[in-house]
Amino acid sequence: MAEAEVQTIQRVGAEPFDVYSIRERFPALKREVYGRALVYLDNAATSQKPQDVIERVTRYYTEENSNVHRGVHYLSQLATDAYEAARARIAGFIDAESAKQTIFTRGTTEAINIVASTFGRERVGRGDQVLISEMEHHSNIVPWQMLCESVDAELKVIPISDEGEIVYDDFERMLSGRVKILAIPHVSNTLGTINPIKEMIRDAHAFGIPVLIDGAQAVPHMQVDVQDIDCDFYCFSSHKMFGPTGMGILYGKADHLENMPPHQGGGDMIETVTFRETTYNDLPHRFEAGTPNIAGGIGFGAAVDFMVATGLQAIAAHEHEILEYATARLQEIDGVRIYGTAPDKASVISFLVDDVHPYDAGTILDRLGIAVRTGHHCTQPLMQRLGVPGTVRASFALYNTREDVDALIEGVKKVKEMFA
């Protein structure tokens, strides 16, 4: 089957942004917990799903259910067309040069692991260095640690400031011919910091260093153009951008992907198989062994359609307004300490309330119907840098409102009252 072409994406929504109309499209936001209306502020962990995505996944299972790529019958062709069309739309969403460069994975974590275990293993050797930062999610630490331990390489860590920004002078000093890979987040999942990745990629490339970007927290909130930033790899997840769980994308430059060995063997990733040897399929299928998450891929495409119809610029503007409002309201409360105060942030606020343990604060907020995340947020080294065991994290999405923020503020005041 011929590969679907990249679909050009219109980045301005078809209709004016109306957050209350948008909320109506998310069934989960209409439910109650403990007799109270749900206030969902855990979007950095996973977002809720619009009816558009739910219905598209249901339609696949009720009308199109079949395996992809291997069948000549009607349902198989229908499913294959829908699956590959979703890939093409996702490729256009990040401005990839070709749909072949968008590899379906189980999520950001698997995407990073694929690069570490293939590209990294061929590029990094004894005495070499892999460069990451202090704000990394565990998924962008552990795969590189495993690689470095296996080849006797060194994992180097770029420091961050007290405000939660990359210390750029230190970053520049750490660049050298010994560094074989730079792997950094576009947006910190704990601090909300938006890193200057375009400049970091430019400076790394001056030393011939390829760059992987963990984009899990960026793609749901801002326009991403992989050609413009010139990254070598970009990884992100469906479930944080209103799509199904268990689905993600590894974007890579074509020359890298074409020269990387497969990380798994099985069906669909092969061209020919004999007992003596196997030849591998072309991109993107070389990295997609076995039956994929077909419904997840199709649902992922529907999530992209939803975001495009809503308007990426409108989403970013609305979330920025909610972030600024929430930050100002929290700063009004004595004893609230916000972690991550970089001027350029996405819609995440991590904070503590007096000396209240984050789990206790989160439990009280939960009983008030407010869903936040508590703990180390899969960033234990960052918590050590900040000198805290964990934080309360409120993270916003396109459907959050000032009323949601007001409920959070009243909940935080209740926490203070109970622990006074």
Ordered domains of the chain (ranges, CATH): 58-308 (3.40.640.10), 311-418 (3.90.1150.10)
In this predicted structure, the answer to whether residue 3 has a pLDDT above a threshold of 60 is: no
On the 0-12 / 13-18 / 19+ scale of CB atoms within 10 A, 367 is middle
Q: pTM for this structure?
A: 0.95
In this predicted structure, the answer to whether residue 89 has a pLDDT above a threshold of 70 is: yes
Mean pLDDT, range 218-246, rounded to an integer: 98
Mean pLDDT, range 77-93, rounded to an integer: 96
Residue 1 confidence (pLDDT): 41
Query: Two tokens at 224?
Result: 């991403």
Kindly compute the dihedral angle of the four CA atoms of residues 133, 136, 142, 143, in this order, to the nearest 10 degrees: -80
Is 378 labeled as catalytic in the residue annotation?
A: yes
In this predicted structure, the answer to whether residue 14 has a pLDDT above a threshold of 70 is: no
Looking at the DSSP bridge assignments, the partners of residue 32 are 37
Query: Two tokens at 215?
Result: 């984009």
Question: Catalytic pick from 148, 231, 235, 378?
Answer: 378
